[in-house]
Amino acid sequence: MIIDPSKPAASAAAPADAIKDGDTRSFTDDVIKASMTVPVVVDFWAPWCGPCKTLTPLIEKLVKQAGGKVRLVKIDIDRNQDLAAQLRIQSVPTVYAFVGGRPVDAFVGAQPESKVRAFIQQLTQSVDSPADDALQAAQDALAAGDNAAAVDWFAQALKGDPRHPKALAGMVRARLGLGDTKAARAVVKGLPSDLLKDPEIVSAIAAIELVETSRQSAGDVADLRRRVEAAPDDRQLRFDLGTALFARGLTEAAIDEFLELVRVDRTWNDEAARKQLLRIFDAIGLAHPFTVSARRRLSSVLFS
């Protein structure tokens, strides 16, 4: 089925390395091996090729819209003449599709967007994507609060695509949900700079930092509970109790304290309680049941 090109379907963001320049030396890794887990489109082009200047940006756009279900490797035949000869490239642009380590489809010359879209869509629909299935299962488990199951599913998704931002960010949140900050930090340690700029990863790192900061400043929960009971109007004490609860992994109880603080004095300390709630929502994920429930309660408090 060909989707109306004027109405592209919404999709997840493509991984940071979904589009790259390739060469003879990297061809085995970038195309042959990579296509064992995700279809790879190879665009053979040349600087002097007029149609290439139109086709290549079109393919890039459609690959981005595919949301990580297909990758693009661009190869300049002038710089990689031996590779072009091995693959019998007679003219440019020539576009190959690789799946399972071998070419499965191709076309030569400039094509209208509808045909290029159909070419790429056929790849994404005809190939089983266990990584996508695992990612969906992981996100469902995370949303249900089953962090242990989410870790297992995210691990499977990352086997299919070790650099998938959503899977990496989800693994961070699942590890944090299990109280393992060290393991969460290890997920993002050593990631390349381009991936560290991805919004999903930026948000996940912020979640780690929130948990670490909370633990550093957290007091004893039992002591803080006693002090809050003795002085229920002390805003700072209640804020400290919420921080301590979150640091101990008692997220729902922490949310309750911050919501109560917003209810009694929403403007206290430059709306510190509301801002902390938003950080917690981002840390545990916007689809988490605690977030969904708390956001409704927060809206009720703010607009009552």
Task: Return the active site residues.
Answer: 49, 52
Beta bridge partners of 73: 20, 42
User: Which amino acid is located at 269 in the chain?
Assistant: N
304/302 Cα distance (integer angstroms):
6
Q: What is the DSSP letter of 264?
A: H
- CA dist 300 to 152, 252, 282, Å? 36, 17, 19
- Helix, strand, coil share of the chain (percent; to 5): 60, 10, 30
211/181 Cα distance (integer angstroms):
8
Omega within 30 of 0 (cis) for the link into 93: yes
**Structural contact between residues 281 and 291, judged by C-beta atoms closer than 8 angstroms:** yes
